[in-house]
Amino acid sequence: MSSIRVYSEIGKLKKVILHRPGREIENIVPEYLETLLFDDIPYLKIAQQEHDTFAEILRKSGTEVYYIEKLMSEVFNDHEVKRMFVEEFLLESDIYSTNLRKALTEYLLALSNTDTVATLIAGIRKKEIKYTSSSLSDIIKSDYEFYLDPMPNLYFTRDPSACIGNGLAINTMKRRARRRESLFVKYINTYHELLGKSKSRLWYDRMLEAPIEGGDILVLSDKVLAIGCSERTSADAIEYLTNELYEGGSGFEQVLVFQIQKRRAFMHLDTVFTMLDYDKFAIHPGIEKDLNIYRVTKAPNNGMNFTFCDEKLENILDKSLNIDGVKLIRCGGGDTLTSSREQWNDGSNTLAVAPGVVVTYDRNYVSNEHLESHGVKVLAMPSSELSRGRGGPRCMSMPVYRE
């Protein structure tokens, strides 16, 4: 029996995976901001305090909180599995020098499980291990600080994978800086009881070439998904995932494909559109003008039907979810300047812990007041530092089980 159950965006959240930011944040420097996909450098101490508050809000809402770093340290209790992971991780980190790979492997395996995980995430600077360069590539790259790049985006646990129905998509990340993140999910899925030790259906495999990320996948109901065709998720990946869901007996009958502008400000669908309640959605008004939506349904001959939806978004959602009167609650109250400012700090990126109860960033106070005026209960969390990574509460969470 699958340990995964996610048939909704708003059902009471029972189990979730997070990652508490660690030393990897302090390995972000101005020279590497673009490479590491950051616009600014968070202050780690405050970021951790904010993240702890986030986790406490979830616990008080009845959610069991699991940390990806602890899950991996438990997976590493099997030393052979630990060795396999390290070897695979180093290959995916482009460590081709045999001698360097051996030195890094010995260094990592000698650490405690907890320290191995923390070091893999934080990255390894050249001064941290004793190693004499013995290949041309080592010498040429000697001006670069790291043998292993840090993984500062990992606190956005939503993207490397997605629990859909009673199965899991282990995603192919678009950007090189994030591709190793889904390797952690692969090993947790295979060797940890939380995800059922591979008993759950695998809808997407990280070895597939077409990129797809969890921030683009919204489970609107037990029959309907919304998937963003975005800067990070391709049409080919959406088609493959949809076919697997239809052919694999997932129970889903309809996928709404949101074609959004390929811009960093609109990075994923959940950056600009999230579900709040049965009939309420948060949306950034900046996407509405150029938004194209396609409905993908299963064809009688096991193929798929693709239909362009030439209607207002509210009407599309009404029909797909069989609801009369869907409300779109606009970021910043719909004001052009306010919505643009608050959207920069993920004003539309909400995490529902129950129907009509959502976690948001406190700094988006105009959007939060607007949500409350529409009957949504807002659990606001501090966000001065976490928001510098350009992701909100939904981005920072991977739901595993919802009522």
Catalytic residues: 395
Which CA distances in Å does 141 have to 137, 147, 335? 6, 9, 49
- Other beta carbons within 10 angstroms of residue 176's beta carbon come to 12
CA diameter of the chain: 68
Contact 341, 361 (CB under 8 A): no
DSSP-derived 3-state class of residue 227: strand
Beta strands in 72-181 (DSSP E): 124-125, 146-148, 161-164, 167-170
- DSSP state for residue 240 in the 8-state scheme: H
Closest CA to 394 of 358, 363, 368: 358
Strand order in the sheet with 167-170: 161-164, 167-170, 201-204
Cα dist. 286→262, 273, 293, 348 in Å?
A: 13, 11, 15, 11
Question: In terms of Cα–Cα distance, which of 379, 392, 402 is closest to 159?
Answer: 392
Which residue in 103, 123, 106 sits closest to 28, CA to CA? 123
Closest CA to 155 of 237, 251, 47: 47
Joined together, the tokens standing for residue 386 give: 């976490």
- What CA–CA distance (Å, rounded) separates 67 from 4? 16
Cα four-point dihedral sign 255, 261, 262, 266? negative
Q: Which helix (H) or strand (E) holds 102?
A: helix 98-110
